[in-house]
Every structure is written in C-alpha cells, then in structure tokens.
C-alpha cells in the first residue's frame, strides 16, 4: 500500500481498494450463480451504495495507516463518491 500511496496519493488507495472490493463482489455473485447484466450492474443503486461504503471504509483504513487528518481524508473520500454519484448516465456521450 505504501507504493500505491506514494505513486497515486491517498485517492489511489481509496479508489483502488474499492475497485478490489467490487471485483470480489462480482466474483461472489458469479460463484453463487446470480444472473446479472455485466455491463449494467455497476450502475445499480445497490452497487453504487456498496461502492460508497467501500470508499469510506478504505478512507478510514488509509487515515489510520497514514495518520492523515480527518478533514483531508474526507476530501479524498468525497471526491471518490462524487465520481460515482455524478457519473453521466449510460448513453450520455458528452465529455467534461
């Protein structure tokens, strides 16, 4: 994790940690035979809520590991949350 924080900052630790959590969730769903649309599942409210929870958990873990202030980590986590909650709808091809 130290290398990840060094190269990508705390946002990298929060976002990549949540990414791994999503991979494990997808694997669990697959192994349990859940029928899901692999292209759309990440946009469901349940997966978005899971991702937000994961961002916050990785923020807490990173804060504890690196001694980052609560305010600084809150900024990192909220930036990650905005990325998930403010993503353009599918089919919206506008670029920001």
pLDDT-derived band at 92, boundaries 50, 70, 90: very low
Count other C-beta atoms under 10 Å from residue 73's C-beta.
Answer: 20
Would 79 be classed as within a structural domain? yes
What pTM value is reported for the model? 0.78
What percentage of the chain carries pLDDT values higher than 90?
A: 42
The total domain count for the chain is: 1
12 — pLDDT class (breaks 50, 70, 90): confident
- For residue 13, being part of any structural domain is answered with yes
pLDDT tens across 16-61, in order? 999 999 999 988 988 998 877 777 877 888 889 999 999 999 999 9
Q: Quick check: is 53 in a domain?
A: yes
C-beta separation of 50 from 29 below 8 A: no
- Give the range of the structural domain holding residue 46, as residue numbers without chain letter: 2-85
Instruction: Identify whether 23 is part of a domain.
Output: yes
In a domain, 93, yes or no: no
What average pLDDT does the chain have? 82
Q: Rounded distance, CA 80 to CA 92, Å?
A: 20
Scanning the chain, the segments in alpha helix (DSSP H) are: 2-31, 45-66, 70-85
Report yes or no on 94 lying in a domain. Answer: no
């Amino acid at each position: 994790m130290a290398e990840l924080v060094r190269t990508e900052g705390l946002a990298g630790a929060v976002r990549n940690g949540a990414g791994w959590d999503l991979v494990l969730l997808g694997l669990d769903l697959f192994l349990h035979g859940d029928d899901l649309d692999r292209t759309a599942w990440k946009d469901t409210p349940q997966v978005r809520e899971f991702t937000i929870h994961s961002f916050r958990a990785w923020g807490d873990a990173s804060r504890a590991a690196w001694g980052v202030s609560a305010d600084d980590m809150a900024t990192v986590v909220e930036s990650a949350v905005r990325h998930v909650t403010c993503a353009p709808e599918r089919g919206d091809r506008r670029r920001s």
